[in-house]
Structure 1
Amino acid sequence: MLALTGEVALDDESLDDLMYGIDELKTARPDYDQAEAYYDGKVPEVFSSTRIRRALAARDIDFDLNFAKTPVNAVTNRLKIASVTSPDDDVNTLISKIWQDNQLNLEMPDLFRRAGEYGDAYLFVLPVEDEAGEVIRVDMFYNSPRTVRVIYSEDNPRRKAYTIKKWCEGKYHRAELLYDDRIERWTTRENSDGDQPTDWLHWPAEDDDAESWLIEHDWGEQPVFHFRTDRPYGVPEHYGAYGPQNAITKLQATHMGTVDYQGAPQRYALTETATTDTSDLEPGDFDDFPADDAGAGPTDSGDDSSLKAGPGELWLLRGFKGVGQFDAAKPDVFLDPIQFNVRAMAQITDTPLRMFDPQSNQRSGESYREEDGPFISKVENRQTSYGASLHEAFVFALRRFGIVDPVVNVDWVPAKSVTDAQGWQTVKAKIDAGVPRRQALMEAGYRAEQVDAWLAGVDDAELQRRTTILASLADSAQKLGAATALGVVTSEQAQQLLNGALSDMELLAEAQAQA
């Protein structure tokens, strides 16, 4: 139960923990800010000339191609929780209540994305009590690693020594230290930056209770759960994309700078050494674009060109022996390196190239599976790590409701599953070779409970028939896709053919079930 007390006195250790935690937050903050900037595509071109940088900044021009967010989104999109359950029906009811109260179907995807973006994310789990001290609900919510940090024990890196949360509130800095047996509340003096120990004071939760800055509890653990891509602290999923993204940003900005020269080439005029009289030229003779009301730029005179293009027009230029124009850089000079850097980004971050460019090529399902191997392994590692943290969070929440030793199972939608003809043919070949049918289907990427439901009351002959039908259907779908691409049939016709085949299969299955 949560209680307010003043029995624990302030000691040097608490203040040392506070200052050490603040220093850890301050040290880690730049890396988190950098990770956010690359995910949001807000990193400027760092190698541009001063002149170009000023020109782009003055007109608030942004030509960025943000590929760096793709490695984060690719992993996040594969992290889908199938279920959080318990063998006990009463516990299942509580789990459903916690899930609904906190809208975890919305909270979890955001938490996973933030964990991928920063490398770290924190889930707070705080019980809410009524006036009688009974827990009526448990609040679960995300906190940013820019304001929260778990400090791990030096002698046991898996044990949380304590957690610090620090934020700014108007003219004050606030902080909380969360321990296994208490929560301490701290605040700075007005307009203090909080860099010195003397800047910090106790922060009572109730104005009329000076000791309410200290909240004791009997939870035996901290109500903070760390979701991370590595240990002890994570690395952003797109960390390896920083370098290629810098190159892409520079190439794209420079490429856009040459577009003006392709639309309006820079020109030149050559004169003879002894003939340099250009007095007959008007100020706007070589000005292709008249100035608008607001002025087009520092070099525009505002005069229309006297050289008119059209049938029967005569251009008379005195004093020049020749004119010409400078060719702009070819687009391939920029686009080819951009493609190279995208491929490098895919390789470095273990992200399939087609996730950066879905139209890159058309290949077989087997080649996709080979390419996806490192990526699928990464997703499965995240499921293991995040699943352990989510399991701890639900166990903690259920204990607050009085469940002494709750059993909780966290199941994920498989990171991969067989959907193509070659894949189902492989499953069929495994079963034909003697691999247990349950094992073959689980290796195809389906959850154990799904497989058990499918196999309930199904003998080997029926399974063989279903596998053969699925393989044939997948093969037909693949061939229809190729026919559609070649224009042999329309996409609507292909869809009608597949729908008809599926309907026939359903009618056949119903007839066999009734027989």
Structure 2
Amino acid sequence: MTASDDLWVGLEALRKARPAYVQAAAYYDDDVPEVFASARFRRALQRTGMEFGKPFIAMVVDAVVSRLKIAAVTSPHKDQAEALKQVWKANKMRRESLQVHRWVSIYGDAYLIVLPVLDDAGNITGVDMFGNDPLTVRTIYDAENPREAAFTIKRWCEPVGLDRTVHRAELYYPDGRAERWTTKVDSAGTVPGDWNPWLPDPIVEADGTVIEPDDDAWIMQAAPGLPVFHFRNDQPYGVPEHRRGYGSQNSVNKLDNTHMGTVDYQGWPQRYALTDTATTDTGDLEPSDFDDDMFPPDPDAGPTDTGDDSSLKGGPGEVMLLRGFKQVGQFDAADPKVFLGPIEFSVRAMGVLTTTPLHLFDPSGEQPSGQSLRAQDAPFTEKIEERQEEYTDTWDESYSFALTLLGFAEPSVDVRWHAAQTLDDKESWDTAKVKSDLGVPLRQIHLEAGYGEDQVQSWLESQTDDPGELSRHLADLATLSESLQRIGTAVTLGAIDQGQAQALIEPILKALTAKSPLPIEPAPEGQ
């Protein structure tokens, strides 16, 4: 039996989608070659072996990932909440969820596979949850109803010996059925005839009896439904968060590499001399600041153009001998502003096109604060909140599926996120205190400040009957923020050093922590 229609459809879909995913990863990893107008300059730069990449575009992805943090996955039912806690811990979901969010931000798509853990008797003892990038997994949607998945394919390459491999593939269907396929050893898997059903290995009993698998053992019931969950930021497939910034990053690469090509000329300007051939002997004139003996040729570098056949030799420190000795001088190197100005424009364009705040590209520069920060971050915060809404449904479905595997007939899951924006500057806490004095509920104030609902609830439950404690806590936070701001200014001006600043900050933190009923810093995210 050869490859089924579904297998070949899935393999072709993976193949066609792969180039765009590879390109997205290349931009994030700063592995995109520069396009040169001059082939000669390209060869010259390639011979240096130098790389001057400045992948500003990676910040577009990292900024999104840094705001996508799950605060809790729980349930209103105590037994289900406990089961979810065990699943979270067993699968190290703090790290796994971060990886899924990174993949979906880089590629636009990511997948989570949820399968039961079975003991020797076939009983379910737990749940496996593991993320997959879209280079190996793809869900194929129904042509009539694009919201419904027809099936999901996963393909990978597996070593079977020294320098020998086989290709494997699994198809998952909404009814829980799974098909397993494999190629022969060293087969490329590029045509349907390369693929055959993947049967499990024979079982060898203790007495040496060999039990061969059934002919249909390559088809199995993997789960009570489709165990693959598709994270995406668009329909039917997502778009890399940094996709609109590709052009800007190309501009940055081009400008920066060309700028680096002129840096040597800044240190050793190219000079010229006009000579009079009738009156001047230039035979003993050394045409370069650098003697060839200082830099002998590399015997392994291959043939090079030494320029010895011409007195017009271009390069850092070289002299152009123009007969006559009527005048000497040097050529001015390119003004760095010619490159740095457009680079700044390209980075700003990247921020606008990808809805990424400009201050995130240069955290060491002048940073906005208070209302200015909130205004600049507003479009980005809105994008993060949209991503949280999009991914909440998928997380809810995957954890509900996990509870179903564990035997819960009516699973109920509540996925909670850390706030898309945390307000922790002095102006924000001063405003919070004014709101408190005007009667705004303290619960609402803390939620607006970016603290999780569970954190606020635990704080409220831990309070005494003194209604002024939370107000004093807000005042403490405002005092802390103001003190840190002033100490930071003193360090910047050189009035104190980092060690002295730390010595000043520690007593303030200890004092505020001791008197405040609430923690100064937010609690860690996750379970």
TM-score bucket (shorter structure): 0.7 to 0.9
**Separation of aligned partners in 2, 1:449 and 1:106:** 21
2:61 matched residue in structure 1: 72
The answer to whether residue 121 in structure 2 is matched with residue 127 in structure 1 is: no
Q: Does 1:402 align with 2:402?
A: no
Q: Deviations over 1:423-478 (max 9, x none)?
A: 01222232333433222221221212222222234554433333233323323332
Amino acid at match of 2:180: R
Q: 2:46 maps to which residue?
A: 57
Q: Tell me how far 1:317 sits from its aligned partner.
A: 11
Measure how far apart 1:184 and its partner are: 1.0
**What is the alpha-carbon distance in structure 1 between the residues aligned to residue 393 and residue 93 of structure 2?**
16
Residue 64 of structure 1: CA displacement? 1.1
Equivalent-residue separation in structure 2 for 1:352 and 1:150 (angstroms): 33
- Matched with 1:281 is 283
The aligned residue for residue 472 of structure 2 is 465
* Contact 1:125 1:224 (C-alpha < 8 Å) held by counterparts: yes
Matched, 1:351 2:356: yes
Match of 1:184 among 172, 176, 179: 179
Q: Secondary structure at the match of 1:215?
A: strand
Please report how far the alpha carbon of residue 496 of structure 1 lies from its aligned counterpart in structure 2 after TM superposition: 4.0
Q: Is 1:475 aligned with 2:482? A: yes
> What is the DSSP-based 3-state SS (H/G/I as helix, E as strand, rest coil) of the residue aligned with 1:357?
coil
After superposing the two structures, state which structure 1 stretch, 352-361 or 17-26, moved more: 17-26
Kept after mapping to 1: 8 A contact 2:275/2:322: no
1:21-420 equivalent positions in 2, closer than 5 A:
21-169=10-158, 170=164, 172-181=166-175, 182-188=177-183, 193-206=188-201, 208-209=212-213, 210-217=215-222, 219=224, 221-272=225-276, 275=277, 280-282=282-284, 284-286=286-288, 288-291=290-293, 292-295=295-298, 298-299=305-306, 319-420=324-425
Q: Partners of 1:322 and 1:194 in 2: how far apart?
A: 71
Q: Which moved more, 1:407-416 or 1:237-246?
A: 407-416
TM-score by length of 2: 0.83
SS of the equivalent of 1:473 reads helix
**Residues 206 and 212 in structure 1, CA contact (< 8 A), matched pair in contact too:** no
Q: 1:222 to 1:318 in 2, by over 3 A?
A: closer
Deviates more, 1:457-466 or 1:333-342: 457-466
Report the residue type matching 2:75 in the other structure: S
How far does residue 15 in structure 1 lie from its aligned partner after superposition? Answer: 2.5
- Seen in structure 2, the aligned counterparts of structure 1 residues 39 and 318 have a Cα distance that, compared at 3 Å, is closer
Query: Given that residues 184 and 194 in structure 2 are in contact (C-alpha distance below 8 angstroms), is that contact kept between their aligned partners in structure 1?
Result: yes
How far did residue 493 of structure 1 move?
4.4
SS state at 1:183 partner: strand
Q: CA offsets per residue over residues 383-422 of structure 1, 9 Å max, x none?
A: 2222322222222222222222222222222222221111
Verify the 8 A CA contact 1:161 1:179 in the aligned structure 2. Answer: yes
Give the superposed CA RMSD.
2.9
Identity %: 48
Q: State the AA in 2 paired with 1:61.
A: M
Shift in Å, 1:359: 1.7
Asked if the contact 1:284/1:301 (under 8 Å) is kept, the reply is no
Q: Compute the displacement of 1:39 (Å).
A: 0.5
Q: Secondary structure at the match of 2:397?
A: helix
CA distance in 2: counterparts of 1:460 and 1:155, whole angstroms: 59
Question: More deviation in 425-434 or 40-49?
Answer: 425-434
Inter-CA distance 463–136: structure 2 relative to 1 (3 Å threshold): closer
Residue aligned with 2:217, SS: helix
Aligned residue pair count: 483
> Any gaps of 5 or more consecutive residues in structure 2?
159-163, 203-211, 310-320, 518-527
**Bigger CA drift: 403-412 or 340-349?**
403-412
Q: Deviations over 1:164-199 (max 9, x none)?
A: 112344554332211023111223456654444444
1: CA distance, partners of 2:490 / 2:117? 60
The aligned counterpart of 1:306 is none
Q: CA deviation at 1:82?
A: 2.1
| Structure 1 position 29, deviation (Å) | 0.8
Deviation at 1:231, TM superposition (A): 2.3
Answer whether contact 1:85 1:95 (CA < 8 A) is retained: yes
Per mean C-alpha deviation after superposition, the further-off stretch among 326-335 and 434-443 is 434-443
For residue 475 of structure 2, what is the amino acid of its counterpart? T
